[in-house]
Structure 1
Amino acid sequence: MSEGVVIRPAGPVPPVDRRVQGLAAVGVGGFVLAGVYQLTGLGIPCVLHATTGLNCPLCGSTRMAAALLRGDLNAAWHFNPVVLVLGPLAGLAIGYQLLAWALESLRVVRLPRLALSPRVTDWLTKAIIALLIVYGVARNLN
């Protein structure tokens, strides 16, 4: 497959990676949950927080997304700054992958797709997990 942009591509369209599909579903589901929380005040409680009183690295994510839906960036930052930064970065990468696939499927244009080697994917996954663990510990030191 060519690495450049191709207008009116022909031939088979490679599918979107299942991990990208899964992350997209989690992101959409998170904003649906945030919308439900915003409208009704109902959310999913954190099991770690409910049992130990400690905040996990994702605690506050629903309230953060609800604050974003209201346009309150300051409140969103205070609920969960790490997810507030990582979420849009992941959303841009996932959105680009889905857009590139959709445009190629419609035979409009073939855009280069993001492709990470297994080594880079492994390293990036471990780095994000380490960041979330450090953040989870640090936010409970107060």
Structure 2
Amino acid sequence: MSLAQSVVRRPIGPVQPLDRKVLNLTWVGLGGFALAGVYQLSGGTIGVPCILHATTGLNCPLCGSTRMAAALLRGDVDAAWHFNPVVLVLGPLIGVAIGYQLLAWGLESVRLIRLPRLTISPRATNWLVKGLVALLLVYGVARNLN
């Protein structure tokens, strides 16, 4: 990761567009928390069942994410950790990076300040995605060994 530019007060000129991947991850995160809110408000009756768990009884790496987010919404971090510790750790890290990108874009759009945007090379992105998939696969296998 590198900071591609320096801070500029009251920027002029065209605004660097927001990366589509950032927008897509934003919508996925917001959708997940909306689903967790519905799950919490319905008392756990409305949710999206995991197809792998429904057909095999095995937990996928993301099983428990809705219950984890619902536990966070009610302030129960211990229960959230129990439901899915990997997503509990990775979610906020990804959320902070996305939030910073949205903040930098928003401040630049209203011509207040231009903050440096986080940039990741395609090669680094490729390795990060492969590492995340490997982590989730190992976690998915490990959580079913009990």
Query: TM-score if structure 2 supplies the norm length?
Result: 0.95
Aligned to 1:116: 120
Is residue 134 from structure 1 mapped to residue 138 from structure 2 by the alignment?
Answer: yes
Question: One-letter code of the match for 2:5?
Answer: E
Question: One-letter code of the match for 2:58?
Answer: L
Paired with 2:56 and 2:98, the residues of 1 have a C-alpha distance of 34
Aligned to 2:63: 59
Q: Which has the higher contact order (CA 8 A, sep 6+)?
A: 2
Paired with 2:92 and 2:137, the residues of 1 have a C-alpha distance of 20
Listed as ranges, the gaps of 5+ residues in structure 1 are none
Paired with 1:80 and 1:16, the residues of 2 have a C-alpha distance of 30
Aligned to 1:10: 12
Paired with 2:80 and 2:20, the residues of 1 have a C-alpha distance of 29
Question: One-letter code of the match for 1:102?
Answer: G
Identity %: 75
2:30 to 2, 24, 28: 28
Aligned to 1:79: 83
Question: One-letter code of the match for 1:19?
Answer: K
Query: TM-score if structure 1 supplies the norm length?
Result: 0.98
Q: What do residues 54-105 of structure 1 show as CA deviations (whole Å, max 9, x unaligned)?
A: 0000000000000000000000000000000000000000000000000000
Is residue 88 from structure 1 mapped to residue 95 from structure 2 by the alignment?
Answer: no
Structure 1 residue runs of 4+, over 6 Å off? none
Paired with 2:76 and 2:143, the residues of 1 have a C-alpha distance of 21
Listed as ranges, the gaps of 5+ residues in structure 2 are none
Number of aligned pairs?
Answer: 141
